[in-house]
Amino acid sequence: MSQELTTEQIQQSLQGISVPPQPQIMVDLQMEQYMPDPDLEVIAKLISQDPGLSGALLKIVNSPYYGLSNKITAIQRAVNLLGSRSIINLINAQSIKGELNDDAIVTLNRFWDTAQDVAMTCLTLAKRVGVQAGDEAYALGLFHDCGIPLMIKKFPDYMKVLEQAYANASAECRVVDTENRQYNTNHAVVGYYTAKSWRLPEHVTQAIANHHNALAIFSDESARNTPLKNLLAILKMAEHICASFRVLGNQSEDHEWNSVGPLVLDYIGLSEYDFETQKQEIRDLATR
The 3-state DSSP class for residue 25 equals helix
For residue 124, which phi and psi values (nearest 5 degrees)? Answer: -65, -45
**Between these two residues, 84 and 135, which has the higher pLDDT value?**
135
Residue 177 identity: D
Buried-state track 81-91, b at ≥16 Cβ within 10 A, e below 16: bbebebbbbbb
Classify domain 102-286 by CATH architecture.
Answer: Orthogonal Bundle (1.10)
Q: Whole-angstrom Cα distance, residue 86 to residue 84? A: 6
Question: Quick one: which H or E segment has residue 46?
Answer: helix 40-47
Question: Can you give the pLDDT at residue 4?
Answer: 59
Are the C-beta atoms of 226 and 204 separated by less than 8 Å? no
In the chain, the amino acid numbered 49 is Q
Instruction: Identify which of 50-54, 68-72, 91-95 has the greatest average pLDDT.
Output: 50-54
Domain ranges of the chain: 7-97, 102-286
Tens of pLDDT, residues 140-158? 999 999 999 989 988 989 9
Q: Which of 233, 243, 240 is nearest to 267 (CA)?
A: 233
Q: Is a pLDDT exceeding 90 seen at residue 102?
A: no
pLDDT of residue 13: 53
* Model pTM score: 0.85
Q: Which residue type does 269 have? A: G
Bigger pLDDT: 261 vs 18? 261
Distance CA 142, CA 146 (A): 8
**Residue 37 above 80 pLDDT?**
yes
Give the span between the Cα atoms of 112 and 129, in whole angstroms: 26
pLDDT above 70 for 271: yes
CA–CA dist 122, 188 (Å, integer):
18
The answer to whether residue 1 scores a pLDDT higher than 50 is no
pLDDT exceeds 90 at position 50: yes
DSSP 198-261: TT--HHHHHHHHTTT-HHHHHH--SSTTHHHHHHHHHHHHHHHHTTHHHHTT--SS-HHHHHHH
Kindly state the average pLDDT of the residues 212-238. Answer: 92
Mean pLDDT throughout 170-189? 95
